[in-house]
Amino acid sequence: MGTCRQGPLTDIRILDLTRVLSGPYTAMMLADLGAEVIKLEQPKIGDDSRHFGPFSNEESAYFMSVNRNKKSITLNLKSPEGKELFKTLAGQVDVILENFRPGTMEKLGLDYKTISQINPKIIYASISGFGQTGPYSRRAAYDGIVQAMGGIMGITGEKGGKPVKIGSSIGDIIAGMFCATGILAAYIHLKKTGEGQYIDVAMLDSQVAILENAISRYTVTGKVPGPTGNTHTSIFPFETFPTKTEDIMIAAGNDVLWCKLCDALGCPELAEDERFCSNPKRGFNHDEMFALLCLRLAEKPAEEWAAILDKAGVPCSLINTIDKVLENEQIQSRDMIVEVDHPIVGKNVIAGIPIKMSLTPGSIYKAAPSLGADNSNVYQELAGLSVRQLDDLKKSGII
């Protein structure tokens, strides 16, 4: 926690038009590292996610989880006055971020081509389901659609079972992370050359980019990868095992760790067994290996095995539910669960900042804003509007 905006990005000002998750996640990452993020929302309604449960004092916990460290202003972009005010703001920021369906900003007359004539140095980033080009570009998309189309559902789930969506909204979040990377790269280019540019990030592209070895496995073997449960497809043993009480995750990622695992389990002979003495052989004889390890692991509770394996230097973990995650001493020690004071909700528990920097650390210094909380300050500072002008705009529904 901090008390003010800090970090390596304090000289970047972002006008954030995004809603729900992918874009707000991008903006939150940059805000955590010091960027000034001005979240622009529709008057009276705001970001769609303000209406997603669960709620605390009528405030959305979903919205609060990805919109910290931001300012909120409201503006009707369909009105002529709203468009002109947007253009004024666009001339005062470094980055514009939006995740409307492709074509929306062009219809509004607020697309990159138009805005770059007002502010040639602008970095204009768009996140969409399928990108600004291609036959699917105008299709609507949500996280589940992209997970299904992008192949990640096809390799997730129990072995032999139906494909399963990943529990986290990885389609949105990964696109958000790639977009944040793109914005930072564009900002470096801007500092070097004075040139702004357009960034096009697609959720579908982002899903394909994280398929890692699934693409290689198919192109090399010709076999279509399917769900394998908790078993790794290339490293053995690297999966969950039943114990006397509950499952435990064990990852013996190389032959040295395999030997340590066998010693810790009290079956050193398996390390020398010709069937299991190398990773390829363990993969070929996986079912036999798995069955033999299960016999040993069934003798003790999971917590006891976790302590034994950890002492032996074998990577392992109990399978934590979310309540256990919040209680975990390692997670707590690195400030990954924090409390912020929300003006309506009070104490709001959210995830911390995962990027730890020695010289220019970021900070979580404010909770997610209420709708339009910063209208007065932002419009007075960046657009030079008077209190009376703001009152008139509010009465007419422009802000």
All residues at 6 or more sequence positions from 166 whose CB lies less than 8 Å from its CB, including other chains: 147, 152, 153, 156
Read off the pTM.
0.95
Q: What is the pLDDT of residue 1?
A: 65
Condensed to tens digits (0 to 9), the pLDDT of residues 97-137 reads: 999 999 999 999 999 999 999 999 999 999 999 999 999 99
- Contact status, residue 12 vs residue 191, Cβ threshold 8 Å: no
Q: What is the pLDDT of residue 310?
A: 97
The Cα 192–Cα 119 span in angstroms is: 17
Mean pLDDT of 261-280: 96
Mean pLDDT of 159-179: 96
The Cα 399–Cα 382 span in angstroms is: 15
The Cα 284–Cα 279 span in angstroms is: 9
Q: What is the pLDDT of residue 2?
A: 73
Share of the chain above pLDDT 70, in %: 100
Q: Which residue has the tokens 């874009």?
A: 23
Condensed to tens digits (0 to 9), the pLDDT of residues 253-270 reads: 999 999 999 999 999 999
290 pLDDT above the threshold of 80 = yes
Nearest alpha-carbon partner for 129 in 263, 20, 261, 9: 20
Q: Which residues pair with 240 in a beta bridge?
A: 249
Q: What is the pLDDT of residue 262?
A: 98
- Is 172 marked active-site? yes
241 pLDDT above the threshold of 70 = yes
Condensed to tens digits (0 to 9), the pLDDT of residues 145-167 reads: 999 999 999 999 999 999 999 99
Q: Which residues pair with 318 in a beta bridge?
A: 248
Condensed to tens digits (0 to 9), the pLDDT of residues 86-96 reads: 999 999 999 99
Write the CA distances from 296 to 94, 278, 306, integer angstroms.
60, 20, 13
DSSP annotation string for 319-348: ---HHHHHH-HHHHHTT-EEEEEETTTEEE
Q: Which residue has the tokens 């991008």?
A: 26
CATH (residue range 13-210+329-395)? 3.40.50.10540
Q: Which CATH superfamily is domain 248-318 in?
A: formyl-coa transferase, domain 3 (3.30.1540.10)
Q: 10 Å Cβ neighbour count for 65?
A: 18
Q: With bands split at pLDDT 50, 70 and 90, how would you rate the model's confidence at 179?
A: very high
Nearest alpha-carbon partner for 61 in 350, 339, 352: 350
190 pLDDT above the threshold of 80 = yes
From the candidates 172, 205, 287, 335, which is the catalytic residue?
A: 172
Mean pLDDT of 306-320: 98
- Contact status, residue 5 vs residue 365, Cβ threshold 8 Å: yes
Mean pLDDT of 317-339: 97
**Rounded to 5 degrees, what are φ and ψ at 236?**
-140, 135
Q: What is the pLDDT of residue 331?
A: 97
Exposure string over 29-59, b if 16+ CB within 10 A, otherwise e: bbbbbbbbbbbbbbbeebbebbeeeeeeeeb
- The full set of domain ranges for the chain reads 13-210+329-395, 248-318
